[in-house]
Homo-oligomer: A and B are copies of this chain.
Amino acid sequence: MDTRKRLDQIIDLLRERGNRLTPQRIAILSAFLENDTHPTAEQIHKKILKSFPTTSLATVYKTITLLKDVGEILELEFGDDRSRFDARKPYPHPHMICTECGAIIDSELDALDGIIKELAQHSGFSIQSHRLDIFGLCASCSK
């Protein structure tokens, strides 16, 4: 979806919920939507500081919590301490993580949902969400 359109939609959503639209919030949200590298909280903070030099890292974290609550951002943890986030596609989809350069590449696998559903049914498990991470070397690092 168009980034600008999505930004407007999320802003509307927050307004309807009664959340205040502070300039920091909008800047943080925009930064997440514009960045397709699955940034960390700190990377977003550094970016924001250019336009709002007094913004605190705590506010970035609080905004992330808000966005998680409304389902507009996905938190990705790969066991390297710092979380990375995906606000562009905040629904389950496979990620390929390069163990050399740290790149996180989005992927799509239409068959996955069906496979998982079937797998869960056998054990009476009702699915809420899922996550598929693939670790390895990206195209340029495997050369």
| Interface residue A1 (Cβ < 8 Å from any Cβ of B) | no
B137 touches A119 (CB 8 A): no
Q: Can you tell how many copies of this chain the complex includes? A: 2
A107 touches B119 (CB 8 A): yes
| Interface residue A105 (Cβ < 8 Å from any Cβ of B) | yes
Which residues of B sit under 8 angstroms from A107, Cβ to Cβ? 119, 123
| Interface residue A134 (Cβ < 8 Å from any Cβ of B) | yes
Q: How far is the CA of A23 from the CA of B48 in the complex (A)?
A: 53
Q: Which of A27-35, A53-61, A125-133 is the contact stretch?
A: A125-133
B142 touches A135 (CB 8 A): no
Known: A79-B75, A107-B123, A119-B107. A136 touches B132 (CB 8 A): no
Measured CB to CB, the residues of A under 8 A from B are: 75, 77, 79, 83, 94, 96, 98-99, 105, 107, 109, 111-112, 115-116, 119-120, 123-139, 142
Interface SS of chain A = mixed
A135 touches B139 (CB 8 A): no
Known: A134-B127, A137-B125, A139-B125. A96 touches B77 (CB 8 A): no
A99 touches B128 (CB 8 A): yes
Q: Which of B119, B127, B136 contacts A127 (CB 8 A)?
A: B136
Q: Which of B79, B94, B126 contacts A119 (CB 8 A)?
A: B94
